[in-house]
Amino acid sequence: MTVKVRFAPSPTGHLHVGNARTAFITWLFARKHNGHFLLRIDDTDTERSKTEYEESIEASLIWMGMAWDEKANQKNRTARYAELIEKLKNDGRLYPCYETPEELSLKRKTQLSRSLPPTYDRAALNLDDTQRAAYEAEGRNPHWRFKLEHEPIEWHDMVRGPVKFNGADLSDPVLIREDGSPLYHICSVIDDIDYDMTHIVRGEDHVSNTAAHIQMFEALGATPPEFAHLPLLSDSEGGKLSKRLGSLSVHELRDNEGLESMALLSLLARLGTSDSIETFTRVQPLIESFDFSKFSRGTPKFDSEELMRLNSKILHETAFDDVNVRLAQMGLPDLDENFWMAVRPNLIKLDDIKEWWQVANGPVKPIIEEADFIEQAAKLLPPAPWHENTWKEWTDAVKDSTDRKGKQLFMPLRQALTGMDHGPELGNLLPLIGPEKALQRLNNQKQAA
């Protein structure tokens, strides 16, 4: 059997990290089994679906390295949906209902007040033709519900293990709106049948939907695929993951936060599994180690700080040849391999390199609190050309001349040269600054450069 899976986002917004995790896990599963990955755009909601969001979702998947094998748009399949919806009506599995939202709300409140589950009471099944005609004469258009069989619904979930529902405990789901447009449930099932999906990976908030979907598959003469329901991500404190924590769309993480795609993939692939979270610079090891048996039912925590730590570790391991094109696009002259190797250990995001380029090339505002000491140190600067041992030669000379050592020796020199109290190793940075600019800063000239 060829594994066939799909990722089915709605183009009503940018791709959120929670959905990105589902997409990536689905993609890993497909690639692990040399399977087929379908990108299905669920765009039947014509009012909310936007072309720019569809393009953004595709761009995010491409940035994450998730090439799809096939793409489909639901908006192009309305005739097929209508065909199979008509079959379900003719088979008696779809039935018209005329209750208004207010009437349904009152029914639910009454059931809850009696400590009963708020499931639909199937009153519409008792309507005769005269009653239906009377409702339609009032101007009521029916919505259509799928008639569930009141029998056990069972499956073995690849994450949750054995799952069991009783059809009698579930509400007959609405599949057709009053305006005649089909809802997600039936369109998704029809697509999964027509595209021969063998496995469906989605969030655990769809578990009860899956119970109803299984009967829809069977009503349409199809064998249901296998299912994997992933626990939803929480924030670092265990609460619901939400945008109040900051920008959590892949679009924002890429463009505004400037993150490396492999940092995000390293985190998303291992969240909620028995494997430790570590940095990966290639996706192949994540494919090879993927297994649904490693996933826990516990709620995984998405920690933005952990994502930043992974990002910095990846940059610290990145060779100049792997980043030089991106560096060239930043428009910073003289940013060569020597500069990259000097500042790489101090980067959290690639964009941070602009700060260190400024430190090396100026202008900077020196911090000089001990003018006499800095003046004496300036007189001891070694002559050009400078090299990797220049910093040690200079500080050894200053140490011998002033009897200073440790932080009292190094910190005033760093502050005078860079205007900062932290940064790359000065043994690497000093040759990038060069004798002329170093002397200007030590002399605290107004236009230090």
Q: Give the residues of the chain that fall short of pLDDT 50.
A: 243-246, 446-449
Q: What is the pLDDT of residue 242?
A: 54
Give me the pLDDT at residue 119, please.
94
CA distances in angstroms from 415 to 192, 369, 442, 443, listed in the order given: 63, 9, 10, 13
Grouping H, G, I as helix, E, B as strand and the rest as coil, residue 73 is: strand
Residues 286 and 262 sit within 8 Å (Cβ to Cβ): no
Distance CA 365, CA 359 (A): 9
- Alpha carbon distances (Å) from 24 to 200, 225, 287: 13, 19, 10
183: Cβ contacts below 8 Å, ≥ 6 apart: 173, 174, 175, 176, 177
pTM: 0.91
DSSP string computed for 184-217: HHHHHHHHHHHTT--EEEEEGGGHHHHHHHHHHH
Kindly list the strands in the beta sheet with 143-146, ordered across the sheet, starting from the edge strand earlier in the chain: 94-97, 143-146, 174-176
How confident is the model at residue 245, as a pLDDT? 43
In this prediction, residue 235 carries a pLDDT of 83
pLDDT at residue 448 in the model = 44
Please tell me whether residue 319 adopts helix, strand or coil conformation.
coil
Cα 176 vs. chain centroid, distance in angstroms? Answer: 32
